[in-house]
Amino acid sequence: MSAYKPQVSNSKYTFKHDLFKGKVLFCTGGRSGICYKIVETMMSHGVDAAIVGRDVKGLAESAEALEKSTGQRCLPASADVRDPKQMEKAVKDTVDKYGKIDFVICGDTDCMISSSLAPITSLSSNAFKAVVDIDLLGTYNTIKATLPYVRESHGSYLHISATLHYRGLPYQAHVSAAKAGVDALSNVLAVEEGPRGVRSNVIAPGPIGNTEGMSRLTPKGWQAQNDIPLGRMGDTSDIANAALFLFSPAANWITGTVLAVDGGENHIRQLSLPYPQSLLDPDSVKGLIKGKL
């Protein structure tokens, strides 16, 4: 039997290029990484977008690049997801430009803190609060600001979570707690707003290559093919294609769902650092990772 060669799918061969023509996407965290790729893929299928974040210059550069690569419109909307008033302003700017909002991606996160490893004993309250404020409170603020318009369009929410909290994972209390809250919030939103025609789902990415968080957290010498059933790390396009499906009419009876896009990794996940050695003697494993421990 010949060996299976892992491949990355390409949405242009799966979905109609004008699938979302006339639709509007509002995305927090769309300046870079996974959310940037989702926005680019959605725009390449006809959607106009607004990307939201704190980096004014970076947002403008990303919006320009997205417009150039897709031929669609992209609004850079500067706002801090932790501030309800700023989020209301970003939503107003989006509606003033496009007239509506159909889809919302809640994807903003604090990459530097989220990609740091720390046991509860050395994780500061400020670091824990920063992740919860951006990931969970930021998701709540985004929902509150956009919901009146998503109700009008009978639209859909997508939240970018993680698989970390499916089990107790050492050194990840801050991210696990925040993402578990995001999952729960999405489920409540699906139940409360389903009768109004609004859907809410979650994508939980597995290990995604060429992202800042993964590069910092991956132990030295780690081999994806040994720990992921499908034999490779994920690509941002894997997440984008899943998002495309969940926003599409093909998923119009799917809500309140958490979709793990991880190549099956969660089913056979092993702790990336020696247990319990990494907890009892943290100094002995500091050389195994790039991120803070």
Residues involved in catalysis: 161, 179
> Within 10 A of 34 (CB to CB), how many other CB atoms are there?
26
The percent of the chain in helix, strand and coil, each rounded to the nearest 5, is 50, 15, 35
Three-state DSSP class for residue 51: strand
Q: Residues, the chain, total? A: 293
> Within 10 A of 149 (CB to CB), how many other CB atoms are there?
21
Rounded CA-CA distance 256/116 in Å is: 30
Continuous H helices in 71-137: 84-98, 111-114, 125-132
Three-state DSSP class for residue 260: strand
Query: How far lies 248's CA from each of 54, 157, 287, in Å?
Result: 29, 12, 45
Contact 127, 135 (CB under 8 A): no
Rounded CA-CA distance 263/267 in Å is: 9
Half-sphere exposure of 100 (CA within 13 A, CB side): 13
Strands of 144-233 (E only): list them. Answer: 156-160, 199-205
Query: How far lies 93's CA from each of 8, 23, 146, 225, in Å?
Result: 36, 16, 12, 45
